[in-house]
Amino acid sequence: MASSEDALPTYGLYIDGGEVPSASGAHFPTDDPYTNQPWARIARGNADDVNRAVAAAQRAFESGPWPRMTATQRGQLLRKLGDLLALHAPRLGEIERRDNGKLAIEVTPQIRYLADYVHYYAGLADKVQSEVIPSDKQGVFAYTKHEAKGVVAIITPWNSPLALTTWKLAPALAAGCTVVVKPSEYTSASMVEFAKLFAEAGFPSGVVNVVTGFGQEVGEPLVTHPQVAHVGFTGGEGSGRKIYELAARDFKTVTLELGGKSPNIVFDDADLDQAVKGVIAGIFAASGQTCIAGSRLLVQAGIHDAFVQRLVEFMSTARMGDPALPDTQIAPIATRPQFEKILSYIEIAKGEGAHCALGGKPWLAPSGGLFVEPTIFTGVHNRMRIAQEEVFGPVLAVIPFVDVEDAIAIANDVPYGLAAGVWTRDLRRVMVMTDRLKAGTVWVNNYRSTSFTSPFGGYKRSGVGRESGTEAIREYLHTKCVWISSDLEVANPFGRR
């Protein structure tokens, strides 16, 4: 007799231009965080599937129409892909919402915005400029050219699957690379559906491939595959460190976007109404499940109590519930392991002596979903684990500071450096803070703004390399220098020219 799981929608792998079963034929369930029940089945790939996908990507890179295309032609395909992405955004958003519990009012606009992201790299594809190098040598002409690295492995997390994949995939394709994507085992369905749009857009078979499955069975064989030239990864620090170590064995290049413990800093001259909204957007949007979460709130001592009171009053009315409904503000936690991790950090904070001013426990949803109440801790000092370690949930640690020097010292005193926010009307203070904060992105009087035009990445343990903007495409290119002699005779071969 067939099990109830057999009746669920089933997703295969996407290799060499079509959806195919895994080599083993095995599947695993993927859950809807709102109901805490399986809603689809995902193909369980393994090393054999990785080999198939990388072989397809290598063939596409070396032969067939893809390597013969001009950069302008690659850009034209990306333009078509962006148009299709905009058209299918509602459907892809619904799949992603089912997979990771993200609010519908966030996920569908986010995916629609990715069309602009793809269009940006469509335009950038034929605008990577080489240069003629002024030489100190007589009779030679030197110039640079940029060449695609080859097969790129893209490994992405569950919190924003399509967005964080597209951040890597669009510049890689614009550069002329081919790719194999390994999405999170918790959120694979939307990536398989997205992959089908590449054939519709006219991309040659093998340029984009997707192998779903688990880290040791798919991720590790993909990173260590000898034909993979570059690895792009977004995820936790532990996984990022392992990928970095594995890639280093063969001297592969990497881009790693890892964790954060970002400070959101409010000075006493700030517009406090706007700062409250910015702090809330920084930590409670997406239920805190974002690498750039402003999980440390630094508040100048003179306004600390009044500001915390405003926060607590605002968040006390936050609506938790069905992420498909437009008035829901707090979505479920995407996975059970993450749900349990967040609750464990709440207990750690209480054990360290922090005061729980709001929340601090799971919310018992009628649907059975995995919810954690928006939680605010006061009485936090920067040596507490709640202030040093990434929770990746709706948990805010509030730390008072005295002045600019104190704020900078506290803000920079963590292992991470992904982002920071500053709220003040003082222009001189803005300049000092933006100069001295050790973070890849600093927002002033706003938080969580990102764009395809702006480079994104971190300092310290927050990662390696940059995504977005013109800098991203260079992560997927080698620079070659060419020397052409105009001399009729070769100089003395035993002397250096």
Concatenating the DSSP letter of every residue in 100-136 gives H---HHHHHHHHHHHHHHHHHHHHHTT-----EEP-S
Cβ atoms 366, 34 nearer than 8 A:
no
Residue 443, helix vs strand vs coil:
strand
Q: What is the pLDDT of residues 194-209, one digit of tens each?
A: 999 999 999 999 999 9
- 346, 389 in Cβ contact below 8 A? no
Other beta carbons less than 10 A from residue 186's beta carbon: 20
- What three-state secondary structure class fits 255? strand
Whether residue 257 lies in the annotated active site: yes
Query: Which helix (H) or strand (E) covers residue 151, if one does?
Result: strand 151-155
> CA 137 to CA 223: how far, in whole Å?
42
In order along its 497 residues, the chain shows pLDDT tens digits of 345 666 899 999 999 999 999 999 999 999 999 999 999 999 999 999 999 999 999 999 999 999 999 999 999 999 999 999 999 999 999 999 999 999 999 999 999 999 999 999 999 999 999 999 998 888 899 999 999 999 999 999 999 999 999 999 999 999 999 999 999 999 999 999 999 999 999 999 999 999 999 999 999 999 999 999 999 999 999 999 999 999 999 999 999 999 999 999 999 999 999 999 999 999 999 999 999 999 999 999 999 999 999 999 999 999 999 999 999 999 999 999 999 999 999 999 999 999 999 999 999 999 999 999 999 999 999 999 999 999 999 999 999 999 999 999 999 999 999 999 999 999 999 999 999 999 999 999 999 999 999 999 999 999 999 999 999 999 999 999 999 998 878 877 787 76
Token representation of residue 334: 């995407």
CB 399 within 8 A of CB 421: no
Q: Which of 407, 268, 334 is nearest to 30 (CA)?
A: 334
Task: Note the pTM of the prediction, 2 decimals.
Answer: 0.95
Q: Give the number of C-alpha atoms closer than 13 A to the C-alpha of residue 351, restricted to the C-beta side.
A: 8
pLDDT, one tens digit per residue, over 383-434 is 999 999 999 999 999 999 999 999 999 999 999 999 999 999 999 999 999 9
The answer to whether residues 29 and 40 touch, using CB atoms and an 8 Å cutoff, is yes
Cα separation, 337 vs 360, whole angstroms: 17
Residue 296 and residue 455 in contact, taking contact as beta carbons nearer than 8 Å? no
- The backbone torsions φ and ψ at residue 372, rounded to the nearest 5 degrees and listed phi first, read -120, 130
Q: Can you name the residues that pair with 20 across neighbouring β-strands?
A: 13
Question: Could you give the 3-state DSSP secondary structure of residue 228?
Answer: strand
Question: What whole-number distance in Å separates Cα of residue 292 and Cα of residue 276?
Answer: 17
Q: Pick the catalytic residue: 291, 373, 390, 467? A: 291
Single out the catalytic residue among 217, 257, 390, 467.
257
* Active-site residue flag, 291: yes
In angstroms, the CA 475 to CA 196 distance is 26
